[in-house]
């Protein structure tokens, strides 16, 4: 997953020219090594004290893994150690497919509860229903199992079987269901037409399936709407991010040229830049990107690039502000480390680390509630990286201001910043209660209906 979006910069300032004096240089190196050995001896002493005197026996692996994790988490909120099990789970998530039953689950009163079966999977075909409580797996009780343990037992090789015992509301006796596992591909792109003229696509994460799912969604809706299609709403709200390469490909799908994103690491030679190639799957249709405080990382790359190029109007509230790239580095036989290795920058040179993407048009999801708790953003996290936009050198000019939106006259005045008093609460199953979505749809329709600007004759 070389790209969930980060770089811890170790500042090293050099004042004036330096001349290496062999004797002093050798002494400094020896002194540095001596300090390192002293600190490693300290670690060994603490390790032995824990093994010998902690109130309960602990395994060496647990103590060492906790120490490694502490070392990484002490750097920033996004660096961490993954043991072999956690590493496998991460690989499954980023692949976007796995062998299993096709149910979204949570835990309730010690049992596994079905949130929803995924369409066209073994679970949906067998009649598993939302609200079902899975009490046994192959005759073994799920009481006391962690949710992760239960999920691991339900996953498995395609073609293998498992027996679920379910307690269902309205049924006096437990329901026994036998299922054969299949390849499950969770729906990363949900889409539909709003009316018959506005395409709506929600991306829930950026895994290996995201860009291909986006293309399928756009092709399907273009076939449904034909020449009636007037705009696209790309919903990235509460999308926590994921793979950097998928964020680049999704952005590239809507741009014909220009920079998408760049990254700067600790060493200048490790800087990278990605540019768009010709081809726009929306064929020039106006786009509104919806973001909120849960839009992070790869989501912010997409929103920031489309905003900088004025290819899309960003609507909603300020995003999370995670402008760093994490590289996953496998450790053979011992999981992997997720290490922050770079910061990323939008095409205009903005770092959104700890600041977020400011929407072009602020629209609230609900009326302000002074008693509601504030949702944490990157800047609120302990040890979060600083934003270096204010530390540019003379070689790196400040990021230029974004060009104006240039919307047709009167269109912006129709956008309503917050729901009307007494408006129904948001219900995910009822799009008409989604105030931000409705404002995006109305904006696109108003833009499509506005007269084209008159061009002055050249002399």
- Catalytic, 351? Answer no
CA distance readout (Å), 430 to 91, 130, 378, 405, 438: 34, 18, 31, 30, 11
Which residue is catalytic, options 322, 324, 384, 434? 322
- DSSP assignment string, 64-101: HHHHHHHHHHTT-TT-EEE-HHHHHHHHHHHHT-EEE-
- The distance of Cα 432 from the centroid of its chain, to the nearest Å, equals 26
- Catalytic, 322? Answer yes
E-strand stretches of 221-376: 231-235, 259-265, 272-275, 287-291, 312-316, 324-330, 336-345, 361-362
CA distance readout (Å), 70 to 36, 63, 73, 131, 193: 18, 11, 5, 38, 48
Which residue is catalytic, options 182, 252, 308, 434? 308
Alpha-carbon span 289 to 439, nearest angstrom: 12
Which residue is catalytic, options 297, 299, 319, 351? 297
CA distance readout (Å), 250 to 77, 200, 255, 364, 381: 26, 15, 9, 26, 28
Alpha-carbon span 144 to 417, nearest angstrom: 47
How many CA atoms within 13 Å lie on the side-chain side of 402? 21
CA distance readout (Å), 347 to 42, 330, 394: 46, 31, 19
Token pair of 396 as six digits: 């790196």
Alpha-carbon span 433 to 278, nearest angstrom: 37
Supply the residues annotated as catalytic.
Answer: 297, 308, 322
């Amino acid at each position: 997953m070389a790209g969930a979006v980060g770089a811890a910069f170790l500042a090293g300032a050099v004042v004036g020219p330096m001349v290496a004096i062999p004797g002093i240089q050798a002494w400094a190196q020896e002194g540095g090594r001596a300090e390192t050995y002293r600190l490693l001896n300290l670690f060994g002493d603490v390790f032995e004290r824990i093994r010998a005197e902690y109130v309960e026996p602990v395994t060496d692996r647990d103590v060492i893994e906790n120490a490694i994790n502490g070392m990484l988490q002490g750097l920033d909120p996004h660096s961490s150690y993954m043991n072999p099990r956690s590493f496998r789970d991460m690989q499954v998530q980023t692949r976007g497919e796995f062998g299993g039953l096709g149910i979204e689950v949570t835990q309730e009163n010690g049992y596994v509860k079905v949130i929803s079966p995924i369409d066209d999977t073994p679970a949906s075909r067998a009649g598993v229903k939302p609200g079902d409580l899975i009490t046994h797996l192959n005759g073994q009780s799920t009481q006391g199992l962690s949710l992760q343990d239960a999920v691991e037992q339900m996953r498995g090789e395609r073609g293998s079987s498992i027996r679920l015992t379910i307690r269902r509301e309205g049924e006096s006796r437990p329901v026994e269901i036998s299922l054969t596992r299949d390849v499950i591909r969770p729906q990363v792109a949900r889409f539909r037409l709003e009316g018959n003229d506005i395409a709506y696509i929600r991306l829930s994460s950026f895994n290996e399936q995201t860009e291909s799912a986006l293309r399928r969604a756009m092709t399907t809706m273009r076939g449904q709407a034909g020449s009636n299609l007037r705009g696209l709403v790309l919903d990235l709200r509460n999308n926590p991010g994921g793979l950097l390469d998928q964020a680049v490909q999704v952005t590239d799908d809507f741009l014909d040229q220009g920079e998408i994103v760049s990254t700067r690491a600790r060493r200048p030679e490790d800087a990278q830049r990605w540019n768009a190639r010709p081809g726009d799957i929306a064929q020039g249709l106006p786009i509104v990107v919806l973001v909120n405080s849960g839009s992070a990382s790869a989501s912010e790359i997409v929103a920031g690039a489309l905003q900088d190029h004025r290819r899309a109007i960003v609507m909603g509230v300020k995003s999370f502000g995670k402008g760093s790239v994490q590289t996953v580095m496998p450790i053979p036989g011992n999981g992997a480390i997720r290490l922050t290795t770079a910061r990323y920058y939008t095409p205009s040179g903005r770092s959104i680390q700890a600041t977020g993407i400011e929407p072009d048009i602020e629209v609230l999801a609900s009326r302000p509630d002074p008693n509601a708790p504030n949702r944490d953003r990157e800047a609120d996290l302990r040890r979060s990286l600083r934003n270096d936009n204010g530390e540019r050198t003379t070689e790196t000019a400040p990021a230029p201001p974004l060009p104006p939106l240039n919307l047709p006259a009167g269109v912006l005045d129709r956008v309503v910043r917050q729901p009307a008093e007494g408006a129904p609460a948001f219900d995910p199953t009822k799009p008409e209660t989604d105030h931000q979505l409705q404002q995006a749809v109305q904006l696109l329709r108003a833009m499509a209906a506005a007269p084209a600007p008159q061009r002055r004759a050249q002399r």
